[in-house]
Amino acid sequence: MQSKENAVINSVCEKKGHMKYSCIIWDWNGTLLDDVSWCVDVINRMLARRKLNIFGEIADYHRVFSFPVIDYYKKIGFDFEKEPFEDLAVEYVEDYYSGKFKLHENAEKILAEIHKRNIKQVILSASEINYLKTQLSCFDIEKYFDEILGISDIYAGSKFEIGLEFMKRNKIESALLVGDTEHDFETAKRLGADCILISNGHQSKERLATLGVPVLDSISDVLGVSL
């Protein structure tokens, strides 16, 4: 039986005509990569070292996490007069990449199925490109992607510019961006792409639901979308 969320998505697609996306743009962290709990652990250790309030639950993290990350760090109490944001970013990255990672359930299955449909797939991430590729190499999924797009530094700013350059270079006219944050929604809007958000990533379903685009419970629901 078709889920309520997918029925809404397919209704939108039908109104646009028999659209078939030429490209699926995937966010990485929280969308394909199941890293939310680990991110909370890492940031909690940083906060505890400075005797700042830690996140008691993932729901607390969901309420404040945002892009750019520098603004999120300010919200949770880091004092940039005592420690530059750049130093905090280095500390976070060193701890974060020491962890072991897993993909969201069924992520590879979804990627493989879309690949069979001859739809271009790319990763568009606010992660530094070399770290991103190293992390991606832990999984046997790079074969499903036409390009891997990450930013040039570790400060997790906007990924819009590299997304736009990709769209122009490849003359992409009909794209769907799948992500898990408000930043993904904003990026899709600026790129002229449709957007679907996944609610088991870095921001809550309640928060994402205010954006006016379909919100799915998990990546497993993506195959129910008219692609």
Domain spans of the chain, in order of start: 4-34+103-224, 36-96
pLDDT at 216 exceeding the cut of 80: yes
More confidently predicted of 167 and 226: 167
> What tens digit of pLDDT does each residue of 180-195 get?
999 999 999 999 999 9
pLDDT band at 63 (very low <50, low <70, confident <90, very high): very high
Q: Determine the CATH number of domain 4-34+103-224.
A: 3.40.50.1000
pLDDT at 156 exceeding the cut of 80: no
Helix segments in 79-181, DSSP class H:
85-96, 107-116, 129-136, 160-169
How big is the chain, counted in residues? 227
Angle at 91 between CA 90 and CA 96, to 5 degrees: 100
> What tens digit of pLDDT does each residue of 112-132 get?
999 999 999 999 998 999 999
Cα 211 from chain centroid?
16
Cα–Cα nearest to 108, from 227, 225, 226, 219: 219
Res 141: pLDDT: 97
Tell me what the mean pLDDT of segment 163-177 comes to.
94
Helix, strand, coil tally for the chain in percent (to 5): 45, 15, 40
